[in-house]
C-alpha cells in the first residue's frame, strides 16, 4: 500500500520560513518524480514544484520561483520543500504527490499524480 505522509506545516509570520517533508512508503521511490501542490480555501489545487527521480529536472510555479526549493533524498524516500520569504498568499494546504509519467508536459498536471499525501496546513500571517 502506497503512503505519502506530508508534514512540517504550521503558522509563520510573513517573511519567515518553513520546511515541508514528505515520506514515502510502499512504492519504489526512486522510480517516481515527486511534486508539491497547494490548495487555498475556495480555490483549485495548484502546482507548486516538481522534481524528477534524480533531482536533475526541476520545475517551479512562477509564484514561488526564487523563494521555494524542492529536493529529495532517495535513500530516505523523502521529498522536501524549503519555503523562504513566505507571503500571506502562500497560505494553503500543501500536498505532496508521486508522478510515474514525468515530463515537461505532465509535471504540473494533477491527473499524472496517482498517489497523494493527506496534506499539511501552512498559514502565513501578515
Is the CB of residue 28 less than 8 Å from the CB of residue 98?
no
How many angstroms separate the CA atoms of 40 and 101, rounded? 26
HSE value, Cβ hemisphere, 13 Å, CA-based, for 27: 23
How many angstroms separate the CA atoms of 65 and 59, rounded? 9
Closest by CA position to 12, among listed 86, 116, 89, 62: 86
| pLDDT, tens digit only, all 126 positions of the chain | 999 999 999 999 999 999 999 999 999 999 999 999 999 999 999 999 999 999 899 999 999 999 999 999 999 999 999 999 999 999 999 999 999 888 888 899 999 999 999 999 999 999
How many angstroms separate the CA atoms of 52 and 74, rounded? 11
How many angstroms separate the CA atoms of 22 and 96, rounded? 6
Amino acid at each position: 500500500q502506497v503512503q505519502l505522509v506530508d508534514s512540517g506545516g504550521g503558522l509563520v509570520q510573513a517573511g519567515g520560513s518553513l520546511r515541508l517533508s514528505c515520506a514515502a512508503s510502499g512504492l519504489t521511490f526512486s522510480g517516481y518524480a515527486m511534486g508539491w501542490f497547494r490548495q487555498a480555501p475556495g480555490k483549485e489545487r495548484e502546482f507548486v514544484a516538481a522534481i524528477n527521480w534524480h533531482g536533475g529536472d526541476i520545475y517551479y510555479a512562477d509564484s514561488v520561483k526564487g523563494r521555494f526549493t524542492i529536493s529529495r533524498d532517495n535513500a530516505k524516500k523523502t521529498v522536501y520543500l524549503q519555503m523562504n520569504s513566505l507571503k500571506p498568499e502562500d497560505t494553503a494546504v500543501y500536498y505532496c504527490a508521486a508522478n510515474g509519467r514525468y515530463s515537461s508536459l505532465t509535471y504540473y498536471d494533477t491527473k499524472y499524480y496517482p498517489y497523494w499525501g493527506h496534506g499539511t496546513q501552512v498559514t502565513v500571517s501578515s
